[in-house]
Structure 1
Amino acid sequence: MQRHLLRRLFSSSSPFAPQKRARSGLAAVSEAVESAAVLPNMPPFGYSPPPYDGPRAAEILRKRSEFLSPSMFYLYKKPLNIVDGKMQYLYDEDGRRYLDAFGGIATVCCGHCHPEVIEAIINQTKRLQHSTILYLNNAIADFAEALAGKMPGDLKVVFFTNSGTEANELAMMIARLYTGCHDIISLRNAYHGNAAGTMGATAQCNWKFNVVQSGVHHALNPDQYRGVFGSDGEKYAKDVEEIINYGTSGNVAGFISEAIQGVGGILELAPGYLPAVYKTIKKAGGLCIADEVQAGFARTGSHFWGFEAHGVVPDIVTMAKGIGNGIPIGAVVTTPEIAQVLTRRSYFNTFGGNPVCTAGAHAVLKVIEKEKLQENALIVGSYLKNRLGALQEKHEIIGDVRGRGLMLGVEFVTDRQQKTPAKAEIVHVMEQMKDMGVLVGKGGFHGNVFRITPPLCFTKEDADFLTDVMDIALSKL
């Protein structure tokens, strides 16, 4: 029996396989048997990374501490040295496999190193890497056409950028130029980027410091779990009216929001909120900006864009991250009328929309459609949310399970009535899950929410493994 359990523990499907055990003797055997008896099997996967002979984690951490920005942070007490990736899995320096349940929102949409995306990037790189401003190239035009085809209404003019921060900066500038007004309204607990303007619009995120920007106003967050009005979106929307009536001249340049707040803790805006706010903004002469950097590109499953679930059509849509599956590319899409405002200025972006990035991003769009990843996000995401809901019934520490498709959040509290944030507990559970082979993200104003946003190729077997591992980690608290 012990021999069978040990073989299972060190099999290729076990996340413990490449690890060397420091302990020996009867104690180590007993510990191994105990772990094997409860550890779920990671789903089989037909890929083995090539051997890694580069610098080890300790050496990289030393160089990082000495030469990189002190503002950079990393997950886990002992940060992982990730050296390889394939679809929904990552591999560390020892060849150990991890289920990536977070990388989808960071950059990867259709899977790490998807062969069709890699092929498109390589083929374009062999021909031409950069030529976007003064000459013609089909890669940028073809992708712009394909992207516009995924948009509702008259949203058909595309501006390419290098990141979501740039996209949101450009969107706010367009709104100000078009309306002739300076005031922008964003939501508390939002996240829109890392430049001065977007950091000004980013209000009260737990790890962001506030950069004060003139003309930026922060509205009450329509938080269905902690908000004062629960799920009544129209009551939250009245705060936007008050800002316009008492905080501005009565006019506004624009309103920017995510449909589901990512860094803010996977908070889906209360029903009825966006329609009411959009109506108010239009009345005040402003433009509505939808930040789809995290919720866009089929992630929510039910719709291709997050704002579609609220029954609204924005004036400007921004996107990045998943658009390029890890390639630095972002975009702003608006109407022909609004786009004309930039002809009054000499606006350009040196690298935005370069042939390599647009060829790769176009391949991503084709993969999403070819492999029906939106449908998969809906099916697997619904299955995973139900399983997480079952964990909530079992473990008192889970206060809320929320989100849509493969953009899910699990909020941890020490008291369900008081909703006291379980800050220390979530860190412990996160470490335990990493040790068992599952990587998740963390966010929310209090830093007590698991952000589960895997690549869209995630399977039901992956969902089972994730929830089984989380169940074990929670049981050990």
Structure 2
Amino acid sequence: MARALGRLGPLWAGGRRRLPGSDTLRQQELKNSFSMQAKMPPCDFSPGKYESYPYERMLKIRKQNLAPSLVTYYKKPLLLHQGHMQWLFDYEGRRYLDLFAGIVTVSVGHCHPKVTAAAQKQLGRLWHTTNIYMHPLIQEYVEKLTALLPDPLKVVYLTNSGSEANDLAMFMARLYTRNFDLICFRGGYHGGSPYTLGLTCIGSYKHGVANAFGCQSTMLPDVFRGPWGGSHCRDSLVQTIRKCSCSPGCCEANNQYIEQFKDTLSTCVPKAIAGFIAEPIQGVNGAVQYPKRFLKEAFQLVRERGGVCIADEVQTGFGRTGSHFWGFQSHGVVPDIVTMAKGIGNGFPMAAVITTPEIANSLAQTLHFNTFGGNPMACVVGSAVLDAIAEDGLQKNSTEVGTYMLLEFAKLRDKFEIIGDVRGKGLMIGIEMVKNKTFRVKPPMCITKEDAAFAVEVFHAALMRHLERTAAS
């Protein structure tokens, strides 16, 4: 049986599209266009035998002893047992193609041999010493990491999670500027800690307690859902089906969204602000992209108000978007602070904040350190991940396989009226359905074109089954 493992993103509603021709004729055309049974690509890896508790006991323990906020998204929750590169195996030995990478975290592949070997070697040498002492790996790693960023982004704070990294970035922005207010996009996700929840503007993450003091949201420049947008707005091979009358080199939608940003600056915050944070492509919100020049113009407006600009690279970083190693590079900007997590450690709990020497000095006036940030295990894993990305050509693979997937999904959008939008860049893809759901396709960067073809076929089959059920009802 064909299986592809993915995840549904946040719920959103969109306008309905109609295709020409009667429903009956259109359904028959679609059936005729799809006759092949999706065949899972081969895998030369065999998982070990599952030897833990029976499934029902696992389910009972989860319900009784794990936080009820940990949702599973499946009628029968998956019990995963082992992973190998782009593949996952459940307790019964069934194989799945991972299209979500542990929430966009497994960058180079599950149990990547190089990363695994480096971690195993370090386990026998030194697990932990606080970073107030020197050990070789922390210096070696930060030198390797900062070499991948432009000047003056050369000072690193190593932390344990993306929420913690964004929390620290907020703190640094306020300390450095001596201002308080921060601006963020609606639809953005920057963490679930009490501090970062002020910047997270997705209703399902809000708990009804005070958390947004000093955080002001602004209109998301979304060229699909928003009031303005056309057929040339975003940095993607696939544009919206909305048409525009923009002249060459001029994006009317961008101009309109910039005016909204200016309105926020003039009405909702003081004359001097601490900063502005944005994901180069919104992740949790379904791979939402902005007009091409928006961030560059917004950064200039923020700096004119004394604020710093923060790029949240938690999902877009480390080559996932393909054309660049960092998402902000495709916008032609250099942020003042960059946060990163998830793919930085391929599943190991680590994160980082990288900034300028001047901003970093604002945090040096009093004691600040992280007990586990930059421990030997984290540094050796992070270093091995960077090596794997380079040696395996994973940034290039993100471009090639991501381009193929994006264009194939766009063909399905043109066939099925229930798909409203397909967008993204590299292996960061969003498929927005007309009613309520966004599929987030962000697999490990080692996925092959053959795997991608299988994933598209499975998605096509699911759409056909939906069409048949709709016709029968």
* Residue identity in the other structure for 2:96: Y
> Match for residue 169 of structure 2?
171
Distance, in Å, in 2 between the alignment partners of 1:126 and 1:236 is: 54
Percent pairwise identity: 46
Higher relative helix content? 1
Q: Secondary structure at the match of 1:40?
A: coil
Q: Paired residue for 1:426?
A: none
306, 311, 336: which one pairs with 1:315? 336
> How far apart are residue 206 of structure 1 and its match?
4.2
Residue 451 (structure 1) aligns with: 440
Q: TM-score, normalised by structure 1?
A: 0.84
Asked whether the equivalents of residues 192 and 205 of structure 2 are also in contact (C-alpha less than 8 Å), the reply is: no
Secondary structure of the 2:339 match is strand
Match runs of 1:203-352 below 5 Å: 203-209=201-207, 211-230=210-229, 231=233, 232-352=253-373
CA distance in 2, matches of 1:213, 1:476: 43
Quick check: 204-213 or 157-166, which moved more? 204-213
Instruction: Find out whether 1:394 has 2:415 as its counterpart.
Output: yes
Q: Distance in 2 between matches of 1:45 and 1:249?
A: 58
The match for 1:68 is 66
- Of residues 260-269 and 125-134 in structure 1, the stretch that sits farther from structure 2 once superposed is 125-134
Alignment coverage as a number of residue pairs: 413
Partner of 1:186: 184
The equivalent residue for 2:424 is 403
In 1, Cα distance between equivalents of 2:258 and 2:189: 19
- Alpha-carbon shift at residue 272 of structure 1 (Å): 1.4
Unaligned runs of 5+ in 2: 5-34, 234-252, 467-473
In 1: Cα distance, 2:329 partner to 2:59 partner? 43
Q: 1:238 to 1:57 in 2, by over 3 A?
A: farther
Counterpart of 1:137 in structure 2 is 135
TM-score, with length taken from structure 2: 0.85
Give the aligned partner of residue 58 of structure 1.
56
User: For 1:456 and 1:43, how far apart are their aligned partners in 2?
Assistant: 16
Q: Who is 1:434 aligned against?
A: none
Match of 1:200 in 2: 198
Q: Is the contact made by 1:377 and 1:405 (CA closer than 8 Å) also made in structure 2?
A: yes
The 5 A counterparts of 1:18-167 are: 38-103=36-101, 105-167=103-165
1:74-127 CA deviation, whole Å, 9 max, x = no partner?
Answer: 121111000000000000001000000111643200000001101111111211
> Residue 450 of structure 2 corresponds to which residue in structure 1?
461
2:397 aligned residue: 376
Bigger relative contact order (CA 8 A; separation at least 6): 2
Deviations 1:51-79 (A, max 9, x none): 11212332112111111111111121111
CA distance, structure 2, for counterparts of residue 470 and residue 214 of structure 1: 42
Is the Cα–Cα contact under 8 Å of residues 186 and 219 in structure 1 kept in the other structure?
yes
Kindly indicate whether the alpha-carbon contact (under 8 Å) linking 1:128 and 1:355 is maintained by their aligned counterparts in 2.
yes
Residue 234 of structure 1, CA deviation: 3.3
Q: Which letter does structure 1 place at the counterpart of 2:217? A: H
Residues 143 and 358 in structure 1, CA contact (< 8 A), matched pair in contact too: yes
Say whether the 8 Å CA contact 1:104–1:453 is kept in structure 2. Answer: no
Residues 266 and 403, structure 1, Cα contact 8 Å, conserved in 2? yes
Contact 2:127/2:375, CA 8 A, preserved across alignment: yes
Shift of residue 161, structure 1, vs aligned partner: 0.3
Q: What's the CA shift string for 1:202-245, capped at 9, x where partnerless?
A: 01354544653211100100111101122422321233322222
Q: Is the 8 A contact 1:320 1:331 kept in 2?
A: yes
Counterpart CA distance in 2 for 1:396 and 1:246 is 40
Q: Secondary structure at the match of 1:186?
A: strand
Q: Distance in 2 between matches of 1:275 and 1:137?
A: 39
Q: 1:104, 1:456 within 8 Å by CA — same for their partners in 2?
A: no
**Per-residue deviation at 1:166?**
0.4
User: In structure 2, how many angstroms separate the alpha carbons of the residues matched to 1:395 and 1:460?
Assistant: 23
**C-alpha separation in 2, matches of 1:104 and 1:259:** 20
CA contact (8 A) 2:104 2:444 kept: no
Q: Would the alpha carbon gap of residues 104 and 304 (structure 1) be closer, same or farther in structure 2, given more than 3 Å must change? A: farther
Match of 1:470 in 2: 459
Is the contact made by 1:152 and 1:313 (CA closer than 8 Å) also made in structure 2? yes
Partners of 2:186 and 2:373 lie apart in 1 by: 29
